[in-house]
Structure 1
Amino acid sequence: MSKKTVVITGASSGIGLGLAKAFLDAGYNVVGTARSAERLQEAAASLGNPASFVGVAGDVADPASARKAFAVAIEAFGSVEVLVNNAGFFLPKPFIEYTPEDLEALLDTNLKGVVYTSQVAAAHMQRQGGGHIVNISASVALQPNISVPAALPVLIKGGVNQMTRALALELSPHNIQVNAVAPGIIDTPMHDPAAREFLNNLAPSGRVGTVEEIAEAVLYLAGASFTTGVVLAVDGGMSTGKW
């Protein structure tokens, strides 16, 4: 059986880099995207420069970047079975302090990137008779938290959650499963180590999650044949409600 191929957006660091490693370890070919070609080269080096990893530089907010990523993937490996829409960033702040520039940046990366890349993936997967799309959402979009003001990320990731459900229905006749993983606070370099005690207390589990725990959930959904339209919280219970 030939190896499957996954396209992962935002694959040069954090959760995206962890996902690239997990998929490589699971026997996939990986096409990783990021804005910076230099960062992708560093990511490839950290992964051991495997022949089954290809980096594609581009901005997910540009529809041409999605087309380029899939063209490179198909040229290198023949097909794409899985898309992971991971590229994104989190910008918590009081609602009245968000600027127009903040809104545009969040829409560009966290929403447009998901839409454009999913459109290219859906068209490709329809032609080949199936596939999986996994969106990376956020626990806070399932259950806002008074300790973490983040109305705009909640708005946009909430939209991604609803798009996940809508696409799961629309694409089901084509044997395409569409799901999402909603991480809670995950141990990545974006978090200040000095804030660890505060972050640990945001979930009833009393700790932050690991990139490996997110990767386990994504890998499950990337292979699930009877699961679609699900937003799977991997957040230590953070989205369950107030505790």
Structure 2
Amino acid sequence: MNTPAKKVAVVTGASQGIGAGLVVGYRKLGYAVVATSRTIAASQDPDVLTVQGDICDPATAEHVTSLAVERFGRIDTLVNNAGIFVAKPFHEYTRADYEAVTGVNLGGFFRITQLAVERMLAQRGGHLVQVTTSLVDHANSAVPSVLASLTKGGLQSATKGLAIEYASRGIRSNAVALGVIRTPMHGEDDHETLAGLHPVGRVGEVSDVVEAVVYLENAPFVTGEILHVDGGQSAGH
């Protein structure tokens, strides 16, 4: 087992895109990382433990947290990055859409966060970070996304609730609300159109998100914050 003095971050949805970037970002901070997703490959870095599993399943949350403690001795940060986005007119959502989005965006947050908080209480401190969308605060008729607002909006409210509930016990809770980020989710042919959604005129980069999360990690007086990383999208057009 590595020394318990090394801080440990757990990152969900960590196989590619933002999640993979966060793994690198936390390693640069000197953290050990437990990275989980359904299809994540093994890592050659002894301070990165990868765990395959569906975060919708509470058994996966139990497995990830128990392995984190077994391997590294603690959990200092949980980044709830795993998420599904389905842009569709509200009346066209199917039951399968609803179950998939709520399963990952809400179910994938709930149990692993409970377990992380239990560990953080025992350690007398920790940090929770939720990844949400600026569409929660700035609806756009060009991007119909009620399921995202329903689930990610819930996470934003939970972020503030957790911040207040556990502030006196050393646990902070923050969120990053994103615009469109350049990841495998979006084809290159769509980037010019998607850039037009942001007042700054470009899509975001994974590095923009990682830098925002690292800021929150290193800001001990910041909790209950919804940090918009959206190129000005939530401010207006």
- TM bin, normalised by shorter chain, reads over 0.9
**Counterpart of 2:111?**
116
**2:102 aligned residue:** 107
1:32 pairs, out of 35, 41, 53, with 35
For 1:54 and 1:21, the matched residues in 2 are separated by 13
- Structure 1 residue 228, shift from structure 2 partner: 0.6
CA deviation profile, 1:74-129 (whole Å, cap 9, x unmatched): 11111111000000121101111100110010110001111111101111101110
1:186 shift after superposition: 0.4
- 1:224: Cα distance to partner? 2.0
Determine if contact 2:159/2:175 at 8 Å carries over to the other structure: yes
Q: How does 1:174-213 map to 2 (within 5 A)?
A: 174-213=169-208
Is 1:129–2:100 an aligned residue pair? no
Structure-2 separation of matches of 1:141 and 1:164: 14
Residues in 2 aligned to 1:172 and 1:10: alpha-carbon distance in whole angstroms: 27
Q: Name the TM-score, length of structure 1 as normaliser.
A: 0.94
**Aligned with 2:219 (options 209, 221, 224):** 224
Q: State the alpha-carbon separation in 1 of the partners of residues 190 and 53 from structure 2.
A: 32
TM (norm. structure 2) is: 0.96
Query: 5+ unaligned residues in a row in structure 2: which ranges?
Result: none
After the TM superposition, list the runs of 4 or more consecutive aligned residues in structure 1 that deviate by more than 6 angstroms.
none
Instruction: Tell me the percent identity.
Output: 45
Q: Look up the match of 1:10.
A: 13
Report 1:82-161 matches (<5 A). 82-161=77-156
- 2 CA distance for matches of 1:122 and 1:2? 19
User: 2:13 corresponds to which letter in structure 1?
Assistant: G
Instruction: Check the 8 A contact 1:11/1:40 in 2, yes or no.
Output: no
Gaps of 5+ in 1: none
Q: Paired residues, what number?
A: 234
Are the counterparts in 2 of residues 132 and 223 from structure 1 also a CA contact under 8 Å?
no
Q: CA deviation at 1:168?
A: 0.6
Per-residue deviation, 1:178: 0.4
List per-residue Cα deviations over 1:2-60 (Å, max 9, x = no partner): 32100000100110001001111221100001112xx333xx3xxxx211100111111
